[in-house]
Structure formats: structure tokens, C-alpha cells
Amino acid sequence: AQSVAQPEDQVNVAEGNPLTVKCTYSVSGNPYLFWYVQYPNRGLQFLLKYITGDNLVKGSYGFEAEFNKSQTSFHLKKPSALVSDSALYFCAVRDGGTGANNLFFGTGTRLTVIP
């Protein structure tokens, strides 16, 4: 079975400060991990993914994520937050061993960047 946990419903950070949005996962095979962002009344936008290789993945809009196999985590990070980063962030996982296209989403974390 696959699952994703985002332990924080809400993260607040001051503009210019580094931000972290946490994600842990559980899969039986190799994990394929994704981050998406959703702005109000919009669809989801793909930010980045981890498939294999370097544990640090760089994505859109200055975001990056670090894959940690021992801690089964894939936290989203950005060195300096912008007010425009305020949105809902979803972590998602696929089990690479199944070949299935199903994406399992976490419950989402609302990021608020305070000016």
C-alpha cells in the first residue's frame, strides 16, 4: 500500500526566510515522489519530482526537495520565501514497482508567506 503524510496543515514563514514543507511516504517498491502547488481556484502545477539519482532535486520557481531514503522523507525547500509562494502544496507518491499511473496525494500544506 502507498501513502503520503504531510504533518503540517499550515506553515507560516516571513518573506525572505527559508521555508520547508514536510512530506513522508510509504511504498513497498521504489518511490517516485512529486510536489505540486495549487493556487486558489486553480488546478495543480507540477513543481518537481524524484525518480532516481541525486537526492537533491531542483524544480520550478527556485524550489528544491531532498529525498531521504532512511527517513522516508521528501521535504520541499526554498532558500528565500516570496509572498507569491503562498499557496497549497501537495506531496504525492507512486510505487515504482507497480507500473501504475495512480498518484497518491498527501492532505496538503497551506503555506503563508508573511510580508
Partner 1 sequence: DTEVTQTPKHLVMGMTNKKSLKCEQHMGHRAMYWYKQKAKKPPELMFVYSYEKLSINESVPSRFSPECPNSSLLNLHLHALQPEDSALYLCASSQEPGHPRDEQYFGPGTRLTVT
Which positions touch partner 1 (CB under 8 A)? 32, 34, 36, 41-46, 49, 51, 90, 94-96, 98-103, 105-108
Give me the least distance between CB of 17 and partner 1, in Å please.
25
Query: Of 100 and 114, which has the nearer Cβ to partner 1?
Result: 100
Query: Of 14 and 100, which has the nearer Cβ to partner 1?
Result: 100
> How far does CA 39 lie from the centroid of its chain?
15
Give me the least distance between CB of 94 and partner 1, in Å please.
4
Instruction: Give the dihedral of Cα atoms 89, 95, 101, 102; nearest 10 deg.
Output: -60
Query: Of 82 and 88, which has the nearer Cβ to partner 1?
Result: 88
Which of 36, 8, 14 has its CA nearest to residue 82?
14
Tell me how far apart the alpha carbons of residues 99 and 48 are, in angstroms, rounded to a whole number. Answer: 20
Give me the least distance between CB of 67 and partner 1, in Å please.
14
Bridge partners, residue 95, by sequence: 31
